[in-house]
Chains A and B, each alone.
Chain A
Amino acid sequence: MASKINRRSFARILGAGLLAVPTIARSQGTSPSFKGQTLVVASWQNYGADDAGTLKQFEQLTGATVKNVYFTSEDDLLVMLRQGGIGKIDVVLPNLEYVQPAAVESLLQPIDTSRIKAWDTLEPRFRNDPSIRQDGKVYAVPWVQGATSLAVNPDVHPTPTSWSVLWDPANKGKVAFFDDPSTAVMTAALYLGEDPQNPDLEKVRAALLALKANVKLFWSSGDDWNKAYTTGEITMGNLWSGLAGTLRANGHQVNFILPDDGTVVWGDTWAIVKNAPHLDLAYAWVNWLTSKEYFVEWITKPGPNQELAVPVNIAAIDALPKSAADSLLAGPLIEYKGKVALQTGIPPKQLKKWTQMWEEVKAS
Chain B
Amino acid sequence: MSAVGELAQIVSRRDKRGPREKHPDNKVGLAFMTPWLLGLLGITILPMIASLVLSFTDYSMLAAPEWVGLENFQRMLGDTRLHNSLIVTFVYVIVGVPLQLAAALLLAVVLNHGMRGLSFYRSVFYLPSLLGGSVAISILWRQMFGASGLVNQLLGALGFENLPGWVSTPDTALWTIILLHVWTFGSPMIIFLAGLRQIPQMYYEAASVDGASKVAQFFRITIPLLTPIIFFNLVLQVINAFQTFTQAFVVSGGTGGPSDSTMFYTLYLYLKGFGQFDMGYASAMAWLLLVIVAIFTAINFFVSKFWVHYDD
Chain B binds chain A: no
Q: Which residues of B contact A (CB under 8 A)?
A: none
Which chain A residues have a beta carbon within 8 Å of chain B's beta carbons? none
